[in-house]
Amino acid sequence: MRRSIKLRSALIAGWTCLALGLFQCAAATAALDDPAQLLKHADAIKSANHDEFARALKQLDAESARLTPAQQMYLRYLKAWQTAYFGDYATAIPQLDAIIAESNDVIMRFRAGVTAVNVLAISSRNDEAYARLSQLLDMLPQVSDQDARLQAIGVASQLYSEAGQYDLSMIYADKLIASATNDTTACKGRQHRINLLLNSGKLTLSDKAIQDGLNVCSKANEPIFTNLIRADVAKLDIAQGHPADAIKLLHGSYDEVQLTHYPQLISTVDSVMAQAYWKSGDFLQAQPYAQRAVEGAIKNEYTEPLIGAYEVLYQVAQKQGDYQSALDDYEKFAAADKGNLNETSARTLAYQMVKQQVQAKKLQVDALSKQNQVLQLRQEISAKAAETRDLYLLMLLVVLGSIALWGWRTKRSEMKFMQISRHDGLTAIFNRQHFVAVAENLLAQARKGSQDVSVILIDLDHFKVINDTHGHAVGDVVLKCTVAACRSHLRPSDLLGRLGGEEFGILMPDCVAATAKQIAEKIRLTVADCSGNEDGVDFPVRASFGIAGTRTSGYALRQLLIHADSALYQAKREGRDRVVVYDHTKADAKPLSPGVLDRRRG
């Protein structure tokens, strides 16, 4: 039986020789006889030629009985990588974690850990991703395998870029380029660098880094990274008013992109093509590319390609006069663009906004119609005899009363919508936008009177674990309980708002940081009472607190929030479930991005 399998494999290898040429034929034949060589070959081409990579995995599966335990673990790693490649992160992460737990090879555990970090970050599990990344970077001096080291450096550059730490990310990208042992690694480093320059607003179309990156990636035969560079250049073309150049650039390599079978790249290119066609005025071409970007996007993720595609679909439907489709696509765009908010409340808010606009326009039309009726009635009254004047006057009053009623209902609808737009749908406290607006006004008043003000940032520890383990219903109860715990210790003059999923903010006028710390400690202890039991499993509820005051941070809300977030970061780093007051003499060397209100921790 095994001889028969080998014979068929040899025949396949022979036909492969004819198709690939003599050089590749020798490699394929050697790989058939040596599983170790085939594993290395598959690893080397996994992003450059995914079809050949998939065939290699299939061949290794067929001959798994010949593999040593270490080789079988290597094969499991490559298959987990392939699972993540196609966007099935929920399956890939447990597979990688199993390899980390079971492998006896330090390098294999390290590589699986690096891949897991990348997958965790892509699937928005940021707390786990950055925690694991820090551990892996600490291990780098003990890692002897240069390829594994460079893999970690590349992922570090990518993740720090996504965190807005562009300078730090650039250091790792330059290190990746300088330490590259082959064209593939050099290509990845250059692609990271170009993307960093684009995100930080420093990339220009004449930048020699673009052509250099394209040349190196083409030489390395890395179609994914080559086309990611082209996508970044196309985005820059669109931003600078050259959508036709973007279309020409991406159209020339569109078939190559499809052959990679990489959902993230394909969705990105389709989305950029849709935006380019929309900017050029060809909305009929924009629509199918946007639809393909939506269909090819990773499920249950709020990615940049998905946001751009939904925005184009919304604009195209509006252009075509299909207001129902425009409403549907706008809801999806709003939900994706505000991914840090609860998906249900974001969709409801977007729907309510459009619905109120439609109703307001309808009421305006009805009011104008009734005003015309009033004018007509007035003309009729003047022409009628005196004996009927009282009757027509009564009718006029009824019409005027109707107009007043319509006006009152319109005003009530506007007030109701204003209430919805200012408050968080779950906890009924201020949402992020209204909290920021009110806080800035209070700080401006405090500045005039030189009044002390303190800001407290609160983030529930490991809240995502509660949601994932016990369900969102339990998570919602915990959020409401946290708000109740805050309110029990706050004054009427204090401002409380929900800044993100499990993050809350408090602004306390006429309060120094030391007093704010005492109050925060009381809240922390009260929040612990929110711990509970679900299905016989106890779950603790804890929170970390960061505090900043105007004496140290000034009256600018942005600076107060940055310093409070820095203190909160310190509290998380020191073990969570504690209160930390910002001290500029002990401030963290790596402050978070100014967009501290736009992400979640846990």
Is 381's pLDDT higher than 50?
yes
Q: Range with the lowest mean pLDDT among 155-169, 472-486, 500-514?
A: 155-169
pLDDT of the residue at 2: 36
3-state class percentages of the chain: helix first, strand second, coil last, to nearest 5: 75, 5, 20
Say which amino acid occupies 398: V
Segment 280-293, tens digit of pLDDT: 998 888 889 889 88
Is 4's pLDDT higher than 70?
no
Q: 57 or 483, which is more confident?
A: 483
Mean pLDDT of 80-94: 88
pTM: 0.48
Nearest alpha carbon to residue 464 among 267, 602, 298: 602
Segment 392-435, tens digit of pLDDT: 777 777 667 666 666 556 566 554 555 556 899 899 999 999 99
Question: Rounded to whole angstroms, how far apart are CA atoms 289 and 312?
Answer: 9
Where is mean pLDDT largest: 47-51, 189-193, 255-259, 502-506?
502-506
Is 31's pLDDT higher than 60?
no
CB–CB of 160/134 below 8 Å? no
Residues 6+ apart with CB under 8 A from 293: 267, 268, 270, 271, 274, 305, 306, 308, 309
What are the φ/ψ torsions at residue 180 (nearest 5 degrees)? Answer: -60, 135
Put residue 87 in one of left, alpha, beta given phi > 0 → left and psi -120 to 50 → alpha.
Answer: left
DSSP class of residue 46 equals T
Is 576's pLDDT higher than 90?
yes
Q: 243 or 594, which is more confident?
A: 243
Q: Which pair of tokens denotes residue 383?
A: 């022409």
Mean pLDDT of 287-304: 81
In the 3-class helix/strand/coil scheme, how is 96-111 assigned residue by residue? HHHHHHHCCCHHHHHH
Nearest alpha carbon to residue 158 among 254, 78, 264: 264
What are the φ/ψ torsions at residue 205 (nearest 5 degrees)? Answer: -65, -20
Nearest alpha carbon to residue 568 among 439, 452, 460: 460
Q: Range with the lowest mean pLDDT among 222-226, 369-373, 522-526?
A: 369-373
Nearest alpha carbon to residue 293 among 279, 277, 313, 278: 313
Q: Where are the alpha helices (DSSP H) in 86-222?
A: 89-102, 106-122, 126-139, 146-162, 166-178, 183-199, 208-219
Q: Range with the lowest mean pLDDT among 242-246, 378-382, 388-392, 405-409?
A: 405-409
Please identify which residue in the block is written with the tokens 């405090």: 446
Q: Where are the alpha helices (DSSP H) in 449-546?
A: 463-470, 472-487, 513-528
Cα separation values, 581 from 83, 458, 491, 520, Å:
44, 12, 20, 10
Nearest alpha carbon to residue 97 among 68, 120, 64: 120
Reported as half-sphere exposure (CB side, CA atoms, 13 A), residue 498 has a value of: 24
pLDDT of the residue at 420: 55
Nearest alpha carbon to residue 502 among 538, 532, 544: 544
Cα separation values, 420 from 342, 359, 382, Å:
14, 16, 47
Where is mean pLDDT largest: 86-95, 243-252, 404-413, 542-551?
542-551
For the chain, what is the mean pLDDT? 81
Mean pLDDT of 250-261: 87
Segment 114-147, tens digit of pLDDT: 999 988 887 778 888 889 998 989 988 888 888 8
CB–CB of 29/13 below 8 Å? yes
Q: Which pair of tokens denotes residue 343?
A: 């998906």
Q: Give percent of the chain with pLDDT exceeding 90.
A: 31
Q: Range with the lowest mean pLDDT among 57-61, 151-155, 297-301, 553-557?
A: 297-301
Rounded to 10°, the helix 166-178/146-162 angle is 160
The two counts, helices (H) then strands (E), for the chain are: 27, 7
Is 311's pLDDT higher than 60?
yes
In which band, very low, low, confident or very high, does the pLDDT at 436 lie, cut at 50, 70 and 90? very high
Question: Rounded to whole angstroms, how far apart are CA atoms 291 and 186?
Answer: 34
Is 55's pLDDT higher than 70?
yes
Is 595's pLDDT higher than 50?
no
Q: Which pair of tokens denotes residue 52?
A: 């050949």
Q: Give percent of the chain with pLDDT exceeding 70.
A: 81
Residues 6+ apart with CB under 8 A from 236: 198, 203, 204, 205
Question: Rounded to whole angstroms, how far apart are CA atoms 256 and 269?
Answer: 11
Q: Which pair of tokens denotes residue 17?
A: 């020789």
In which band, very low, low, confident or very high, does the pLDDT at 30 lie, cut at 50, 70 and 90? very low
Nearest alpha carbon to residue 515 among 506, 526, 527, 528: 506
In which band, very low, low, confident or very high, does the pLDDT at 385 lie, cut at 50, 70 and 90? low
